[in-house]
Amino acid sequence: VYKVHKVHKVYKVLYEPYNFINLINEKKLRFFHWNKFSKIKPFSYFCKKENRMKKIYTLPELENMLTCQGEEENRLYSESKRIKNETIGNNVYLRGLIEISNICTKDCFYCGIRKSNTETARYALSDKEILDAADFAYTHHFGSIVLQGGERSDKAFVDRITRLLQEIKKNSNNELGVTLSLGEQTEDSYKRWKDAGAHRYLLRIETSNPELYAKIHPNNPLHSHATRLRCLESLQRCGYQTGTGVMIGLPFQTITDLANDLLFLQSMDIDMVGMGPYLEHHATPLYEYRHLLLSLQERLRLSIHMVAALRILMPDINIAATTALQAIEPAGREKALEIGANVVMPNITPTTNRTLYKLYENKPGTHEGAAESMRKLEESILKSGCKVAYGVWGDSRHFQSRTEN
Ligand code: 5AD
């Protein structure tokens, strides 16, 4: 909580004034004693290449990006598209998504596989099923996979994931990249998994606002915003390419919350982001608040604006066009790719279990086989003016420059 508070304070004090800098006459600053941390800096400071790149966006500017319409909206999209193509090009990287289990120790109020949902049958893929799916990704030149699942942190689970990672790396001659999305763990577990071959980790913050976080999670230490933040820092310390993200259009969420989410992602210097619309699930406590929600179309549009604004804010990170976007309409994912996203995560979970991994309703692609999903995916990527980059890890450019410096 302290950390977030600090972050917000820093924006207020340091970042906002940057935007007025262009209005300040250099001469007036001649006798002003400034340093890197001064609120006011001479214009020449921003003319240096390394500083020029750091255009800082204010909260109101970001709020405008999220709500703009008509001509302004077109300008937002063309700017984010231009920045994307200039910085990282139009390659789309694939992560074969393997949903290893829907058994979860958490009870998040929005999630269909929360522990207390007794309507869902629980499954866990066998080692063979997981290894076969990884093999499918390898032989189809996906470049990398994501192991995602309900949260467990018991020793047997941590040991099993370690073993599976070693096997996957061995079976693919060390060639398949592996991202994990297995929730909050101890730093020691994160280290073990990194040593065993994982190199990217996704852990969504869900919302950067601790008060909103408290409204959508049970009030107990297992569901703590501060712990989630500490885990993200652990992941960065362990040397993972670190990904996080938020849900968009949650009940009680404001545009200011979302604009702050964008500033949060920037202040955390995050390498990858997966964010998408919140979609209600009837067997969850948040369903009761569905009357507070924006329409599905509005949530979709807001999500696309978030992707565009984030691309402008963080030009060289990896941004996923998430499944939840596609759940509202297939064109949602295409639009996200066209204006800012560069990663997709085709589902390669064995079809028999796919219907059970239902975080929200109307989850797309729960009935089709892997080959059919692939065909559809290629088609939609081409439609968005992008191309699939096969057989490469597709690491975040941001991570490369962050670690080189
Ligand atoms: N709608 C949208 N996204 C959801 N997630 C979980 N439940 C929902 C929902 N109802 C997202 C969360 C979580 C990720 C695995 O799925 O952001 O971190």
pLDDT tens for each residue of 164-213: 999 999 999 999 999 999 999 999 999 999 999 999 999 999 999 999 99
The tokens of 392 are what?
């490469």
Q: Which residue owns the Cα nearest ligand 1 atom 18?
A: 204
Task: Give tens-digit pLDDT for 295-354.
Answer: 999 999 999 999 999 999 999 999 999 989 989 998 899 999 999 999 999 999 987 777
Q: What is the pTM of this model?
A: 0.87
pLDDT at 3 over 90: no
Which amino acid does the sequence have at 121?
Answer: A
Q: Would you give the end-to-end CA distance of the chain in angstroms?
A: 29
Q: Cα angle at 368 between 363 and 370, to 5 degrees?
A: 110
What the block records as the tokens of 237 is 């310390």
Alpha helices in 69-224 (DSSP H): 70-87, 127-139, 155-171, 187-195, 210-215
pLDDT at 246 over 90: yes
* pLDDT at residue 402, rounded to an integer: 81
pLDDT recorded at residue 362: 72
Signed CA dihedral, 161, 271, 296, 346: sign only: negative
Give the residue, 280 or 355, on which the prediction is more confident: 280
pLDDT for 14? 37
Average pLDDT for 7-36: 42
Instruction: State which ligand 1 atom lies nearest to the alpha carbon of 281.
Output: 10
360 Cβ below 6 A of ligand 1 = yes
**Most informative mutation of 100, 111, 299 for ligand 1 (most atoms within 8 A of CB):** 111
123 lines ligand 1 (CB under 6 A): no
What is the mean pLDDT of the segment spanning 56-66?
Answer: 94
* Mean pLDDT confidence for 104-120: 97
Strands 91-101 and 343-344: parallel
Distances (CA, A) of 6 to 9, 194, 256, 346: 5, 30, 17, 38
pLDDT tens for each residue of 386-398: 999 999 999 999 9
